[in-house]
Amino acid sequence: MSFLLESDALNGKAGRAFAVIDGRNVEMFGLKKMQADAEFQEADFNVVGTNLVQKKTKGVTLTGSFTIYYGTPEFLNMLKTYLKTGKLPYFTIQITNDDQGTTVGTQTVALYNVKLSKLPIAILDDSADYLSMDVSFSFTNIEILNAFGAPAQLGE
């Protein structure tokens, strides 16, 4: 068989994330969703003798976002620091996918030099049972601390 078994589909809730802020490990315990992306920047590459326009990769932008339950003060404190000092704190985020029901194992990725891009300051919502906030960020580097393996049934 050469297809993915349902038992190796990753459960989106099986994992954890934490931020390293000023040397402190802060678990992102109210995390609902997190995603980090690499968007490749491209330029047109034209060559005489063809009408084909090729794309040349010229860089990459690293950005992300997370949704967290409202009430976590760590990120608002970063805004306060910036407003008082003019210096926006950078931090590290470490994300681990850890679904023990799969055979692919665990993956841990670190995002370095994380800088907030957009942060809600205050929220009220008369229709919300629970308040959550969407935060966007950029970062400058990644490290794969531990990578998934191949599903057991596909072999190595």
SS3 content of the chain, % helix, strand, coil (to 5): 10, 50, 40
- Specify the 3-state DSSP secondary structure of 49: coil
Report the pLDDT value the prediction gives residue 13, as an integer from 0 to 100. 79
Domain boundaries, the chain: 17-149
CB atoms within 10 A of CB 26: 16
Q: Are 2 and 150 in contact (CB under 8 A)?
A: no
Average pLDDT, the chain: 91
Report the pLDDT value the prediction gives residue 155, as an integer from 0 to 100. 64
Report the pLDDT value the prediction gives residue 131, as an integer from 0 to 100. 95
- Band of residue 65 on the pLDDT scale cut at 50, 70, 90: very high
List the one residue out of 41, 44, 82 whose CA is nearest residue 58: 41
Model confidence at 130: pLDDT above 70: yes
Least confident piece of the model among 10-14, 26-30, 88-92: 10-14
Report whether CATH 2.120.10.30 matches the domain 17-149: no
Report the pLDDT value the prediction gives residue 89, as an integer from 0 to 100. 93
For residue 24, the surrounding DSSP H or E stretch is strand 24-27
pTM of the model: 0.87
Backbone angles phi, psi at 79, to 5 degrees: -60, -45
Model confidence at 98: pLDDT above 70: yes
Give the pair of three-digit tokens for residue 29.
């315990």
The 8-class DSSP code of residue 6 comes to: G
Question: What are 82's strand-pairing partners?
Answer: none
